Amino acid sequence: MAVNGSHPLVLRLVSSSLAIAHRAGNIIRDILKKGDLGIVDKGVNDLQTEADRSAQQCIVESLKINFPKITVIGEEDLDTNASVDPNWIETGFNDEVLQCKCPKELQGVTDEQVVVWVDPLDGTTEFTQGLLEHVTVLIGVAVNGKAVGGVIYQPYYNYKAEAESPLGLGRAIWGITGIGAFGFKKVIPQEDKNIIATTRSHSNVINTEAVSACQPSEVIKVGGSGHKVLLILEGKAHAYLFASKGTKKWDTCAPEAVLRASGGTLSDIHGCMIPYDASVQHMNTGGVLATSSNHQWYIDHMPLSARQNLPS
């Protein structure tokens, strides 16, 4: 499908982001195959690899070429004047998204209203440890500070069964509020359970207390915000709770948009919406709570220790 100005900006952005995420996923897989991850330690439990750097160059440069006037914020602090491999540039669009009817409230969005938040490789620690199912590429579209569109790409989805499966390697999930979420089978979690997903590598006493206060029947400790939200979307968890300041806007923008598009909710632990405009602090200082339903129940059960430790 030919892409022109008649397609609303939000549709074009998510359509382009889907194509770009696929290319970024190929880059990540190629780097892992070569075996030299080029690991850099950015701080406590905060790693960066050549895959992070290269995937971000692919995503950011492709978005800037396709949408030169929008604001793009990526996780990695890279040289913006560095040359980018031409083979990493993706200028294609996904027809499925362009064929959707854009919600009325998103039809007149302009470049100046948009911020795109990019996490080129969510779950870097798990990536370096070989826990590849935790890894996602996140591209989130915010309009006037609200997450409205997102792509969650799993470069290693189905990697354990690729040889026997016709599905191939990798999977793209995307969503736009007012349209829906696609690329997966939505499953409602079991009503008689309360499975909570939380961090596997960044926990502390307060987070542990908060999870316990929400009376889980089971706790799943996994890496990556994108991966945790996918557990909710596919009915493997009822909630994702992280009562700490560890996540950033690029970790949550895309997952929030996809979750909201499917009928779920993502906020800080106080129930306040997370803002995504260009001038906000990158850290999610109020923690993260994501649910498929009953969001207020989890907020009501948040312990005083967590409420006092994290500002609203």
Within 10 A of 277 (CB to CB), how many other CB atoms are there?
Answer: 14
251 has catalytic annotation: no
Q: Which of 49, 52, 177, 199 is catalytic?
A: 52
Q: Which of 268, 266, 272 has its CA nearest to residue 233?
A: 266
80 has catalytic annotation: no
What number of helices (H) and strands (E) belong to the chain? 9, 13
Q: Which of 49, 119, 122, 124 is catalytic?
A: 124
- Helix, strand and coil content of the chain, in percent to the nearest 5, comes to 35, 20, 45
- How far is 57 from 62, CA to CA, in rounded Å? 8
- How far is 262 from 179, CA to CA, in rounded Å? 9
Alpha helix (H) residue ranges in 170-294: 205-213, 225-233, 249-261
Instruction: List active site positions.
Output: 52, 124
